Amino acid sequence: MVLRSAASFLLLLVCAVASPQTTAQPASRIPSVFHDPALGITYFYPNRFTPVAPAKAKTQLSCAHETLAGSSVTPVGTSAFVFSTIDQTCPAILQAATRNLDAFTREQVFRQLKQYGEPVIVHDPARYLVDGHPAAITIASAEHPRPANVNNMVRPEMTYAAKACVLGEIPTKRGKSTPAQDTKHVLCFDFTTSQHDLLPLLLAFTVQFDGRGPQPLVPGSILR
């Protein structure tokens, strides 16, 4: 009887310790949420990222209004993302994006990576839809040297970047209207990381338009 009582007590103790760990695991996978009331758009992003204050105002060198930014720092490196909006305050940039999303995302991600080295395409520009909104993404990388190690040898370091842009409106088919004429703003998403293995994090970002169901910002087929 003593052994049975001791065994029962031990089982209860194990369950008591294990239960909080079990209930905490799903919470770690719950995404963080940010709502943009001006555009009626909600962004969901992995909670491993810490949000940072967006830029206060658009500069003359950039026509993108930064909406939300976040970063994740680990002993291996830093990953970061930025959500931004291009609107009619920069008509030339807006038209360039809406006319050819493929070329626009490729040009922009190359411009972003030039500070690290010579950009190379990792995944060709791809077109898709986000809840009916035309979208495109380009993934590229750049190699740059790191400080010499103990053997006095310079080892290359890689930076990976993805640029995805989504039309803010679904183009209509009435008359001779074109996407460039219909679109009042373009939503863009930038992701950078020093780890190739973290590129699948792109699949964890979702967006929700005007109370509709959340949709993946990047389709799973992109990284296959």
- The enclosing H or E element of 182 equals helix 179-182
160, β-bridge pairs? 141, 193
> Per-10-residue mean pLDDT for the chain, 224 residues long?
37 32 51 92 95 57 82 89 92 91 96 92 95 95 72 68 94 57 86 93 94 91 83
- In whole angstroms, what separates CA 103 from the centre of its chain? 19
Cα dihedral 121, 205, 200, 52, rounded to 10, equals: 80
- At residue 14, the pLDDT reads 30
Amino acid, single-letter form, for residue 135: A
- Ordered strands of the 206-209 beta sheet: 32-36, 41-45, 206-209, 215-216
- At residue 17, the pLDDT reads 31
Extract the tokens encoding 145. Answer: 């040297």
Quick check: 205 and 189 in contact, CB under 8 A?
A: yes
- At residue 53, the pLDDT reads 66
- At residue 21, the pLDDT reads 34
Residue 101 CB neighbour total at 10 angstroms: 26
Collect all residues with Cβ–Cβ distance below 8 Å to 108 and sequence separation of at least 6: 138, 163, 165, 188
**CA-derived radius of gyration, the chain:** 22
- At residue 147, the pLDDT reads 60
